[in-house]
Amino acid sequence: MIEFQLDTASGVATYLQLVQQVHQALRLGILEPGDRLPTAQQVVAKLAINPNTVLKAYRDLEREGLVRPRPGQGTFIVGTLPRSDPAAQEQFLVSMTTWLRKARAAGLGPDDIEAIYRTAVRNIFAEGAA
């Protein structure tokens, strides 16, 4: 069983935060097929959020094939997500650091870099969605 947390300042919709936390737990191997998610009642009793928010998150996860509700028993993990490979992460960290050094040498500050990063992420993921 996992316990959900909320970051109210993040600006990310509450149901999406729940979805992302399940994703992350799957990637880290904290959740595995057969594990049960907390019931809507348990989640709202802890976080004081609208039960429909929890149900919406669980429906999204079900649509992704990651969980399945079993009537009267709860919602169970049935899918997996690829765990991220630590070696690959290390490699990207190295190339990112090199890139950042170059950017700094070219006179860019953290704000400029963040703007570039956000634009690039938006462009790349817009491509993927199209």
Partner 1 sequence: MTAVIETNGLGKQYGRTWALRHCDLTIPEGKVVALVGPNGAGKTTLLHLAVGLLAPTSGTITVLGGRPGGGPAQLGRVGFVAQDTPAYAGLSVGKHLRMGGYLNAKWDQELAESRIGQLGLDPRQKAGSLSGGQRAQLALTLAIAKQPELLLLDEPLASLDPLARREFLQGLMEIVARHGVSVVLSSHLIADLERVCDYIVIIVASQVRLAGEVSGLLASHHRLSGPRRDPRTLPASQHVIEESHTDKQSTLLVRANEPILDPAWTVKRVTLDDLVLAYMSQARDLGPARRSALGVVS
Contact set with partner 1 (CB under 8 A): 6, 8, 11, 13-14, 40-41, 44-54
Enter the tokens of residue 86: 């630590």
Distances (CA, A) of 67 to 7, 20, 31, 78, 82: 23, 13, 11, 5, 15
Residue reference for tokens 């990310």: 12
Q: Write down the least CB distance from residue 112 to partner 1, Å.
A: 15
Q: Write down the least CB distance from residue 48 to partner 1, Å.
A: 4
Q: Write down the least CB distance from residue 73 to partner 1, Å.
A: 16
Q: Is the Cβ of residue 26 or residue 53 nearer to partner 1 in the bound state?
A: 53
107: which residues sit within 8 A by CB, 6+ positions away? none
Q: Is the Cβ of residue 48 or residue 129 nearer to partner 1 in the bound state?
A: 48
Quote the crossing angle between the two packed helices 14-27 and 51-63, to the nearest 10°: 50
Q: Is the Cβ of residue 54 or residue 66 nearer to partner 1 in the bound state?
A: 54
